[in-house]
């Protein structure tokens, strides 16, 4: 299913024409960067999810970041709405596909387009490294930042697209972005303070941040695919909105209580909560099926 949707997306004119425009913009940005001499070298602040690196590294990374981290992931705001409005999710869930497979398939398609676009720009990165005198570690930090933020923003857009009205989608998306910025900033600032820069511990925390908020965004979309909710159950979509709201408080509290060491623990906890808060109960295999009454 993921391969089919990705293949169809690559053939659409809505992808081909912007893709060619991106190549032209990247080429012009690289030429302009060489002319003004704004290529930056490595430093202790060169680390994953340090978005300021993209701004301070010249027009090339600013254009790449804007396209791959913002514009392309925003396409996820319409993905789940198509399935829910037309009732296609009910037919999908009657097959061997479960809710996770449907949501992850949408995410892999969206993130795959951003990744393919970014990979196509790698030759420009190599030219900047060989000709422009930039450090490989700085370029690697910018590259991982683009891919990590693209994954989180794409997951949040897919989660917001599961809501019906346009206003609700926009509100949930900005709520997710605010939670992501606050939660990641608290954990990453604490780890950077502990290590005195972007060391191994910082990058481990950054990877946990990407996994945590990607899981929260996908779980938000998954919670809206429930076919039925019992009268005594809390709506899973409301619970996931609560997770989005309280995630930065939990992460920030654990970071402050551990003097910067425990930010990754809060990220792991909130990722696991998001994954398990809407799990459907299943009977053990040894339990017999109920009799069919005609």
Q: Give the distance between the most distant pair of CA atoms in the chain.
A: 80
**Separation between Cα atoms, residue 70 and residue 276, nearest integer Å:** 28
Distance CA 43, CA 7 (A): 40
Please name which of 175, 167, 154, 173 lies closest in space to residue 74, comparing C-alpha atoms.
Answer: 154
Instruction: Specify the pLDDT at position 239.
Output: 85
- Which carries the bigger pLDDT value, residue 291 or residue 106? 106
**What are the Cα distances from residue 181, in Å, to 14, 42, 178, 187?**
30, 24, 5, 10
Alpha helices, DSSP H, located in the chain: 2-11, 13-36, 52-56, 59-65, 79-85, 88-93, 99-120, 122-132, 136-161, 166-195, 200-223, 236-257, 263-276
CA distance 214 to 74: 14
CA distances (Å), origin 136, targets 40, 84, 120, 133: 11, 45, 18, 9
pLDDT of residue 47: 82
pLDDT interval class at 1 (50, 70, 90): low
- Tell me the per-residue pLDDT of 190-213, one tens digit each, with 9 for 90 and over: 998 888 878 888 999 999 999 999
- CA–CA distance, 136 with 131 (Å, rounded to integer): 12
The answer on pLDDT for 29 being more than 60 is: yes
pLDDT in the model for residue 272: 94
CA dihedral over 161, 166, 172, 176, signed as positive or negative: positive
- Rounded-to-integer distance, Cα 171 and Cα 207, Å: 26
User: What span, in angstroms and rounded, lies between the C-alpha atoms of 274 and 142?
Assistant: 28
**Which residue from 160, 150, 39 is spatially nearest to 103, judged by alpha carbons?**
160
Per-residue pLDDT at 5: 64
Distance of CA 73 to the CA centre of its chain: 8
Predicted confidence (pLDDT) per residue in 153-182, tens digit: 999 999 998 888 889 899 999 999 999 999
When pLDDT is averaged across residues 31-56 and rounded to a whole number, the result is 72
Residue 231 and residue 1: Cα distance in Å, rounded? 34
Determine the pLDDT at residue 153: 95
Tell me the whole-structure pTM to 2 decimals: 0.84
The pLDDT of residue 110: 87
Tens digits of per-residue pLDDT, 256-293?
Answer: 999 888 899 999 999 999 988 876 656 566 667 666 65
72: pLDDT confidence band, cut at 50, 70 and 90? Answer: confident
What's the whole-number average pLDDT of the chain? 81
């Amino acid at each position: 299913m993921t391969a089919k949707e990705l293949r169809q997306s690559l053939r659409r004119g809505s992808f081909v024409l912007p893709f060619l425009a991106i190549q032209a913009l990247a080429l012009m940005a690289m030429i302009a960067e060489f002319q003004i001499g704004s290529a930056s070298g490595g430093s202790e602040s060169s680390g994953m999810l340090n978005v300021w690196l993209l701004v301070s590294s010249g027009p090339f990374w600013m254009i790449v970041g804007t396209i791959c981290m913002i514009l392309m992931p925003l396409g996820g705001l319409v993905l789940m709405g198509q399935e829910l409005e037309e009732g296609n999710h009910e037919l999908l869930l009657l097959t061997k596909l479960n809710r996770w497979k449907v949501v992850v398939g949408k995410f892999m398609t969206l993130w795959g387009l951003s990744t393919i676009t970014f990979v196509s720009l790698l030759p420009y990165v190599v030219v900047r490294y060989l000709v422009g005198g930039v450090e490989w570690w700085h370029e690697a930090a910018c590259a991982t930042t683009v891919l990590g933020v693209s994954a989180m923003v794409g997951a949040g857009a897919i989660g917001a697209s599961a809501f019906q009205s346009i206003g609700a989608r926009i509100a949930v998306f900005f709520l997710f972005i605010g939670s992501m910025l606050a939660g990641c900033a608290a954990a990453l600032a604490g780890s950077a303070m502990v290590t005195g820069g972007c060391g191994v511990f910082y990058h481990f925390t950054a990877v946990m941040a990407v996994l945590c908020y990607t899981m929260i965004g996908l779980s938000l979309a998954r919670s809206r695919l429930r076919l039925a909710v019992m009268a005594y159950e809390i709506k899973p979509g409301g619970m996931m909105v609560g997770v989005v709201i309280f995630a930065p408080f939990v992460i920030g509290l654990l970071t402050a209580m551990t003097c910067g060491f425990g930010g990754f623990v809060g990220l792991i906890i909130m990722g696991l909560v998001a994954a398990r808060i809407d799990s459907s109960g299943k009977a053990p295999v040894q339990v017999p099926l109920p009799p069919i009454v005609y």
